[in-house]
Structure 1
Amino acid sequence: MYLYGASGHGKVIVEIAEELGYGIDGFIDNNAELDSIFDYPVIHQTPASGEVFLSMGNNATRQRIAKAYPQFTYPTLIHPKAIVSKRAKLGEGTVVMAGVTINSEVQIGKQCIINTSATLDHECRIGDFAHISPHVGLAGNVTVGEGTQVGIGACVIQGITIGKWCMIGAGAVVIRDVPDYAVVVGNPGRIIKYNRL
């Protein structure tokens, strides 16, 4: 398996893959100055096919690469120290970091990041290419749209819907639904701008 993206996020992903016993061929990255990470080679050309994990943190970049290379097989990586309900469903290419708790009937799309020690309670729905940052708390029945990032330490009360390609700021407390493309900060969370319309 190759890891596509030799950044800090990739360093975390490679350790999860090692814990899970994957054979790692190396990293793919267009930074010509990189030649190795943790003794794994960094190549600068994309292979024609094979097993690849998208190890970049930027949601839009993961979406672009996944669409450009549909021929790859994208595994789902779950850290051994995560707690994941047997009734949860996770899409291809998603990573679940150490300390995460995912409860019953949570549905997570493809190419998502569920980052360190985040908590997703029952029946949450996470769209493709979303990023749930470290120490985020989602109460039950929360929906997070495609491409949205919920920032570190944010809290979302039960039943809230957050739209697509939103940014929820670090430590925000979300108590109302959030429309597509909104940027939300503060306690209680308030919209300060829109990424695009």
Structure 2
Amino acid sequence: MGYSGHGFVVAEAAIVIGMNLVYYADVKESTINPFHLEYLGFEGEDYFRGWEEDFNYVLGIGDNKIRQKLAHLILSKNKEMVNVIHHSASIATMITIGKGNFIARNAAISPLSEIGNFCILNTGSIVEHECVIADAVHIAPGAVLAGNVTVGERTFIGANAVIKQGVKIGKDVIIGAGSVVLKD
């Protein structure tokens, strides 16, 4: 679901880990189709044929609010969303992870962390021990969450931002690229 910039990154990772991608859905048919997928249409239209098929769904939408809204639509249709976890990601065994997440190339998640649903942990991001990431969060490339950080729903943490251990970030927050966050 979604087939532009972020969707291309997710599609490539899905293919690398052996998923069989055949279709994509988006607002309109893409003029760029690097993975030669068949266009299913737009999921918001009544005639969207994807709801009638027995597919697993992959989220390729970068915008947190749109991704969460689409995920809820998929769930309302009793469809299954799968995680795409790049094989180069380093993930501890003692974590909790929801559905519909994308964990990119070289991302790292340390023990006792909790990742909600519909999240993006982008390229080279680091989530240290005991972090709690709510639904629909996007942690951009190179961002670092030190231990025991809590991040609220739909929050965006910009590229190369650093969040000090123990900090609590609310929902719908935007942390700018390169920021250093020392307080809640």
TM-score past 0.5 threshold: yes
User: Partner residue of 1:17?
Assistant: 14
How much does 1:145 deviate?
Answer: 0.4
Overall identity of the aligned pairs, in %: 35
User: For residues 11 and 23 of structure 1, do their structure 2 counterparts lie closer, same or farther at Cα, with a shift above 3 Å needed?
Assistant: same
Matching residue within 23, 27, 33 for 1:26: 23
How much does 1:37 deviate?
Answer: 3.7
Runs of 4+ with >4 A deviation? none
What CA distance in whole angstroms lies between the structure 2 residues aligned with 1:69 and 1:152? Answer: 29
Structure 1 gaps, min length 5: 178-197
Does the 8 Å CA contact 1:143/1:161 hold for their aligned counterparts?
Answer: yes
User: Partner residue of 2:112?
Assistant: 105
Does the 8 Å CA contact 2:71/2:100 hold for their aligned counterparts?
Answer: no
Which secondary structure does the structure 2 equivalent of 1:27 belong to? strand
Larger proportion of strand: 1
Matches within 5 A, 1:157-176: 157-176=164-183
User: Partner residue of 2:45?
Assistant: none
- Alpha-carbon deviations, 1:56-82, whole Å to 9, x = none? 100000111112221220011111001
Provide the TM-score with structure 1 as the length reference. Answer: 0.85
Which secondary structure does the structure 2 equivalent of 1:54 belong to? coil
Does the 8 Å CA contact 1:90/1:109 hold for their aligned counterparts?
Answer: yes
How many residues are paired up?
174
Greater RCO structure (CA 8 Å; 6+ sep): 2
What CA distance in whole angstroms lies between the structure 2 residues aligned with 1:33 and 1:107? Answer: 35
Residue type of the alignment partner of 2:36: D
Provide the TM-score with structure 2 as the length reference. Answer: 0.90
- Alpha-carbon deviations, 1:97-128, whole Å to 9, x = none? 01111100110000000000011110000000
Does the 8 Å CA contact 1:147/1:164 hold for their aligned counterparts?
Answer: yes
Does the 8 Å CA contact 2:97/2:116 hold for their aligned counterparts?
Answer: yes
Matching residue within 36, 58, 61 for 2:63: 58
User: Partner residue of 1:80?
Assistant: 87
